[in-house]
Amino acid sequence: MSRRSLDLRGTPCPVNFIRCKLTLEQMSSGDCLEVCLDRGEPEAMVLPGLRDAGHRVECIDQTPDSVTIEVICGG
């Protein structure tokens, strides 16, 4: 199982979702991607979008300004 990370704070929608999706396409099922996003619209758009694409998404850290999620690649 490989592990990668993306820091997408300051990256606008939908660019942040597209970058997550492109990275996950290069990964194998079961691999882990850790993503740091701004709170608000990025959090509200990216998390459901990744879940809808078949990935498992969990919030692993939160601050007032950002959220860090762990995405398990669905393949």
Note the pLDDT of residue 53: 97
Note the pLDDT of residue 1: 84
- CA pair distance 16, 1, nearest whole angstrom: 24
**Residue 9 contacts residue 41 (beta carbons within 8 Å):** no
CA 72 to chain centre: 9
The domains located in the chain, with CATH, are 3-72 (3.30.110.40)
> Which residues of the chain register pLDDT less than 50?
none
- CA pair distance 65, 43, nearest whole angstrom: 11
Parallel, antiparallel or unpaired: strands 56-62 and 32-38: unpaired
